[in-house]
Amino acid sequence: MSTPVIQVEDVSKLYRLGEVGTGTIQHDINRWWHRIRGKEDPYAKIATVNDRTRKEKKSPKDDYVWALKDVSFEVLQGEVLGIIGRNGAGKSTLLKLLSRVTSPSSGSIKVKGRIASLLEVGTGFHPELSGRENIFLNGAILGMRKQEIVSRLDEIVDFSGCSAYLDTPVKRYSSGMYVRLAFAVAAYLEPEILIVDEVLAVGDAEFQKRCLSRMDKVSKLGKTVIFVSHNMSAMQSLCTSILRISNGEAGVKSRNVEQEINKYLHDCRTAQPSFPVELQDGTRILGLELAPSIFPTGQSTTLTFEVEFSSATTITDFAPFIYNHAGVRIGIMDGRNKFGLPRSFAKGRYCLQFNTGPLPLMPGDYVVGLYLRTLSSWLNHENLGDFQLTSETGMEITNYPAEHVGILNMSFSAVIL
């Protein structure tokens, strides 16, 4: 039986919004006085839940927010734990606590083994040092001897594809090069625990595939991997267990990866978008109408976006896109040619309408998002509305589960010879 290598017990993290530290001498003294007497932080009692949907503070207690609240779980040796949740749910805060970048406000974290973390672009690298020097620096931090690092240097360089730039200061690297080298360092210096945040989104598709393959190999060597990503397909193929975080609170860790991912995606789909959606330049999406919103596969629907401009505005991009149940982008409707973009719009309200044409997709639920760019602002919203495709009329057989049938509802013929 595998032994726990990470034990998290009632861990919470408290932050004050808009300030570094507590902000006042009075609060500092009050906290110090409670701490030396072994009392609870007095401001923890008035802190609010980590709700990213709040648009403004309603009372002074909203200055204090629980980024994480009473989180408990264990990670076993050789386990690949996927952590899922919406943006702002507390996933990255949890990884920083596990990596000891910051400390919890309460609770305890026990870790057995060396940890290598890839949390965000630039983490763990000194910008003035070269790629080669940063490799040795990271190895030294992990407690490795120089000879051990040298023995793995060629593998790290080959995986990263940065051999031509190895003696160049990393501050001159692109974000993609940075992440490739950082992942290679973290994965090939053989820590007992590998922690990877969603920074892999910076890399291209080929690099992401190599990273996932490497993490799979690391786990099969008995190492532990903790992985955060919004790519549900990658999570389902790689992870052996799932932990879901919502508003700073964690659910129960589950080994039924497929079921937990489907629950999460269902909750994301059924969450009602909050209109209006506003860009920084004052452009607002007032609503989206889908007519029809439930229809048989192979038929079409019309998407009507109501947009308001607070002043004369030039749109350069307007492109709705569609996601399936697994969060995979099915397609995009590029409005640049249809609307003659870039195009200037006078102040006022407009309806921009798209007809999808026949959708030969498998029955199921689908989500509509939008990429919108003006000369001074942009929006990439992944859930402005949803629609449902039903089975064709006359089909009485039970459908296979959605995760097994793929994307296209194929038109085919078949005979028995």
pLDDT tens per residue across span 116-131: 887 765 567 888 999 9
pLDDT, mean of residues 311-316: 93
| 55-64, 241-250, 384-393: least confidently modelled range | 55-64
Task: Name residues whose C-beta falls within 8 Å of residue 361's C-beta, 6 or more positions apart in sequence.
Answer: 297, 324, 330, 389, 407, 408, 409
What is the length of the chain? 417
Question: Is the pLDDT reported for residue 228 higher than 80?
Answer: yes
Question: Is the pLDDT reported for residue 364 higher than 70?
Answer: yes
Predicted local distance difference test score (pLDDT) of residue 280: 87
The model scores a pTM over 0.85? no
More confident residue, 398 or 140: 140
Q: How far apart are CA 176 and CA 192, in angstroms?
A: 25
More confident residue, 232 or 192: 192
pLDDT band at 269 (very low <50, low <70, confident <90, very high): low
Sign of the dihedral through C-alpha 323, 329, 331, 336: positive
Q: How many CB atoms lie within 10 A of CB 79?
A: 21
Whether 171 and 221 have beta carbons less than 8 Å apart is answered as no
Helix (H) or strand (E) holding 4: strand 4-16
Q: How many CB atoms lie within 10 A of CB 349?
A: 11
Q: How far apart are CA 209 and CA 199, in angstroms?
A: 14
- Quote the Cα angle for 289-290-293, to 5°: 140
Q: Strands of 119-203 (E only): list them.
A: 193-196
* Residue 247, Ramachandran bin (φ over 0: left; ψ between -120 and 50: alpha; else beta): left
* One-letter identity of residue 125: F
Predicted local distance difference test score (pLDDT) of residue 9: 93
| 1-15, 107-121, 172-186, 383-397: least confidently modelled range | 383-397
Burial 4-25 (b: 16+ CB within 10 A, else e): bbbebeebbbbbeeeeeebeee
Question: Is the pLDDT reported for residue 313 higher than 80?
Answer: yes
Q: How far apart are CA 93 and CA 102, in angstroms?
A: 9
Predicted local distance difference test score (pLDDT) of residue 270: 63
pLDDT band at 243 (very low <50, low <70, confident <90, very high): very high
Predicted local distance difference test score (pLDDT) of residue 191: 82
Predicted local distance difference test score (pLDDT) of residue 14: 84
Question: CB burial class (10 A; 0-12, 13-18, 19+) of residue 246?
Answer: middle
Task: Name residues whose C-beta falls within 8 Å of residue 319's C-beta, 6 or more positions apart in sequence.
Answer: 332, 333, 334, 335, 336, 370, 371, 372
Question: Is the pLDDT reported for residue 101 higher than 70?
Answer: yes
Q: Measured in whole angstroms, how far is the alpha carbon of residue 386 from the centre of its chain?
A: 21
Predicted local distance difference test score (pLDDT) of residue 398: 59
Residue 266, both tokens? 């269902």
Residue 364, both tokens? 């199921």
pLDDT tens per residue across span 14-38: 887 654 554 567 767 776 776 777 7
Residue at token pair 């995009």: 332
- Quote the Cα angle for 393-396-409, to 5°: 60
More confident residue, 159 or 120: 159
Predicted local distance difference test score (pLDDT) of residue 382: 81
Q: Where are the alpha helices (DSSP H) in 37-100?
A: 91-98
Predicted local distance difference test score (pLDDT) of residue 175: 75
pLDDT, mean of residues 206-224: 84
* Residue 250, Ramachandran bin (φ over 0: left; ψ between -120 and 50: alpha; else beta): beta
Question: Is the pLDDT reported for residue 349 higher than 90?
Answer: yes
Q: What is the DSSP letter of 223?
A: -
Q: How far apart are CA 116 and CA 190, in angstroms?
A: 8
Q: What domains are defined for the chain?
A: 115-270 (3.40.50.300), 277-416 (2.70.50.60)
Predicted local distance difference test score (pLDDT) of residue 307: 95
Question: Is the pLDDT reported for residue 397 higher than 70?
Answer: no
More confident residue, 177 or 304: 304
pLDDT band at 402 (very low <50, low <70, confident <90, very high): low
Mean pLDDT value across the chain: 82
Task: Name residues whose C-beta falls within 8 Å of residue 176's C-beta, 6 or more positions apart in sequence.
Answer: 202, 203, 204, 207
Question: Is the pLDDT reported for residue 59 higher than 60?
Answer: no
Predicted local distance difference test score (pLDDT) of residue 203: 64
Helix (H) or strand (E) holding 28: helix 25-36
Q: What is the DSSP letter of 277?
A: E
